[in-house]
Amino acid sequence: MMVNVKGRNIEITPALKDYVEKRVSKVTRYFSDIKDISALLKVEKNKQIVELTVNAGYVLLRAEEGTKDMYEAIDLVVEKIEKQISKHKTKLTRRFRDSASFKSELVVPSKQEEADNEEFKVVRSKRFPIKPMSIEEAIMQMNLLNHSFFVYIDAEDDSMGIVYKRHDGNYGLIQPDIKK
């Protein structure tokens, strides 16, 4: 298994690459077949940011963390990925208690057995009318409501869209491809 380490606005030194590979190797013990692990290290203003993506075939995990120290950001992003793995393992364990295929895909280390057993719980449900509008109107409406995302119907092609505010202050657009 090879870890793909890339840098943006930073030179990846051999020591930094070795540290990333050493820390990320902890994640490999959870899966029997990891297809790809990529780490993007970048510097923006005074912040050292690490994005980590783990492709283990049937599950794709992604985490991002930014601090003033690159090594601390690497440690924190690996902790986030481990927490995601733990939640995923708990969910799968409940769903497939005795499935042999589950046991061959996911290797469970003993010290993570009693990890966070938090369930996903819907605490509020909301219905609202959706009217056709442009992307600019949807962004304006999202900002007026002080939300981090907004669902709308595109006035031009009647497709559903979701605009969201990114961590860098820009906006993103998600356009679902609904297959029937």
pLDDT computed for residue 113 by the predictor: 44
pLDDT at position 112:
45
Q: Domain for residue 41, yes or no?
A: yes
Tokens of 159: 């497709």
Confidence grade of residue 41 (pLDDT, cut at 50, 70, 90): very high
Domain match, 73 and 156 both: no
Q: Indicate if 139 and 94 belong to the same structural domain.
A: no
Average pLDDT over residues 29-46: 83
Find the DSSP H helices in 8-134.
Answer: 14-28, 70-95, 100-105
What is the tally of structural domains in the chain? 2
- Mean pLDDT of the 91-95 span: 70
- Which pLDDT score is estimated for 96? 62
d(CA 172, CA 166): 6
- Domain encompassing residue 148: 132-174
Query: Coil, strand or helix: which one is 38?
Result: strand
- Considering the chain, what percentage of its residues have pLDDT values greater than 70? 83
Mean pLDDT (the chain) is: 81
Has residue 32 been placed in a domain?
A: yes
CATH number at residue 58: 3.30.160.100
Regarding whether 93 and 17 lie in a shared domain, the answer is: yes
- Give the model's confidence band at 116: pLDDT under 50 very low, under 70 low, under 90 confident, else very high: very low
Q: Would you say the pTM of this structure is higher than 0.85?
A: no
